[in-house]
């Protein structure tokens, strides 16, 4: 299994709409990726966390394989990227992990 993670840094003048991210953006991705997206999770910084915490949000998309991830993203990337402006002005950090446990 692989995990595609997108981290949103805590930057000055950064805006992030957690409600939109949770209710629209990630469901859009899951819907478009269909069976190729095993599941996803969303992380939100805890209220009252230190102001210098490095990230304010993240998502993790789980797929059975890199091939499934690529198939699920095929033909959808432009729409996913176009939707980003609806919830943030933050440039994310993206990583792909092999899930080992």
Across residues 51-79, what is the average pLDDT?
A: 96
CATH number assigned to the domain comprising residue 27? 3.30.70.100
Enclosing domain of residue 12: 2-98
Q: Where are the beta strands (DSSP E) in the chain?
A: 2-9, 39-44, 55-63, 93-98
Q: What pLDDT, on a 0 to 100 scale, did the predictor assign at position 51?
A: 80
Find the angle CA(17)-CA(22)-CA(25) to the nearest 5 degrees: 85
Neighbours of 99 (CB within 10 A): 11
Q: How confident is the model at residue 49 (pLDDT cuts 50, 70, 90)?
A: confident
Q: What is the pLDDT of residues 13-47, one digit of tens each?
A: 999 999 999 999 999 999 999 999 999 999 999 88
The two three-digit tokens of residue 90, written as one number: 């933050």
Q: What pLDDT, on a 0 to 100 scale, did the predictor assign at position 48?
A: 85
Q: How many structural domains compose the chain? A: 1
Choose between 50 and 18: higher pLDDT. 18
């Amino acid at each position: 299994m692989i995990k595609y993670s997108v981290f949103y840094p805590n930057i000055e003048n950064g805006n992030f709409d957690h409600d939109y991210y949770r209710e629209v953006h990630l469901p859009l991705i899951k819907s478009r990726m269909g069976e190729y997206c095993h599941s996803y999770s969303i992380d939100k910084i805890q209220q009252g966390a230190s102001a210098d915490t490095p990230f304010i949000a993240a998502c993790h998309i789980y797929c059975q394989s890199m091939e499934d991830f690529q198939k699920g993203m095929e033909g959808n990337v432009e729409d996913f990227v176009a939707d980003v402006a609806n919830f943030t002005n933050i440039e994310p950090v993206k990583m792909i992990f092999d899930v080992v446990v």
